[in-house]
Amino acid sequence: MPVTSAEAALAMLRWQIAMGADEAIGEIAQNRLAPPPPSPNLAPITAPPRPAAPLASPSAARPSPARPSPAGPSIVAPPGALSESLAEAAQSARQLAAGAETIAALGALVAGFDLCPLKRTATNTVFIDGNPAAPIMLIGEAPGADEDRIGRPFVGRSGQLLDRMLAAIGLDRTGVQITNVIYWRPPGNRKPTTAEIAACLPFVLRHIALARPRVLVLCGGTAASALLPFSEGITRLRGRWFDLAVPGIDAPVPTLAMFHPSFLLRAPERKREAWRDLLALKARLDEQDAAG
């Protein structure tokens, strides 16, 4: 059956989405099939034909120096410039976050914060879901496609699993508050960088200080390594309780690390350990209730 150009275009779009290229980041679509515009300032390059390089010679293995693109110079930044600007972002986030007296005010500051570059490619700021007055706080990694579209954390497939996990110990979103260590979706769902996490962390810490949770649950390795001073991975940290010192709160916050629901979707055989961690969470909450 002949393939129409519309079908071919659709197939190409689907392939791009499957490869993670699911964000349009330019205002105007680029026609990459159009011939490059003639460059009035450049004489045509008339380099003599190069002799064919022998296969696997030492020079063939050497990387060739970068050449400017024939379509015009691309803007480059010196190495370190981005992380310097992200360090400034972290500094500015610290100052802003310190001034928030309520979680709602903090959410408004996060929504207006323009110094994390992830915001430029995101559709929505994803700050909180659940009940901001709830004494149980869960922190995940970063919004995915569904969260970015809807503007709330954990509303996609991993959120549905999270809901089932909470229900297994008698909880739902009215009794917990949920946020992430990153408020904007990283393009293609890549892992957030250390600098991006550092730019959001002052807000996350202020959120914990304002929420004063009875327990804090860190879902996954990214949240655990952002908030705990250990270099071990989540497989070693999960199921352990930590007393987390948070600026602005006198008593340390009892903190449990767990597997991330999206990891459990990929590795259902690890649900047994997650179930043990949920029971440990329930036992801790029951102890706290009994102690009044």
| C-alpha distances in Å from residue 53, one per residue of 48, 65, 66, 206 | 14, 16, 19, 60
Residue 147 near ligand URA by CB under 6 A:
yes
Cβ proximity to ligand URA: between 98 and 143 the closer is 143
142 makes contact with ligand URA (CB under 6 A)? yes
Which amino acid is it at 241? W
Min dist CB 149 to ligand URA, Å, is 12
Q: Which is nearer to ligand URA, 120 or 191 (CB)?
A: 191
Q: Does residue 180 touch ligand URA according to CB under 6 A?
A: yes
- CA angle, 257 as apex, 253 and 260 as ends, to 5°? 135
**HEC-encoded secondary structure of 58-117:** HHHHCCCCCCCCCCCCCCCCCCCHHHHHHHHHHHHHHHHHHCCCCHHHHHHHHHCCCCCC
Q: Which of these ranges, 10-18, 23-31, 54-62, 141-149, lies near ligand URA under the rule CB under 6 A?
A: 141-149
Please state the closest distance from residue 168 (CB atom) to ligand URA, in A: 19
Contact between 158 and ligand URA by CB under 6 A: the answer reads: yes
Give me the residue whose beta carbon is nearest to ligand URA.
Answer: 140
153 or 213: CB nearest ligand URA: 153
Size of the site for ligand URA (CB under 6 A): 12
Cα–Cα nearest to 228, from 212, 245, 247, 204:
245
* Residues linked to residue 138 through DSSP beta bridges, in sequence order: 178, 217
Q: Segment near ligand URA (CB under 6 A), from 15-23, 146-154, 207-215, 229-237?
A: 146-154
For 64, the token pair is 């060739």
User: Bridge-partner residues for 178, per DSSP?
Assistant: 129, 138
Which residues are at the interface with ligand URA (CB under 6 A)? 140-144, 147, 153-154, 156, 158, 180, 262
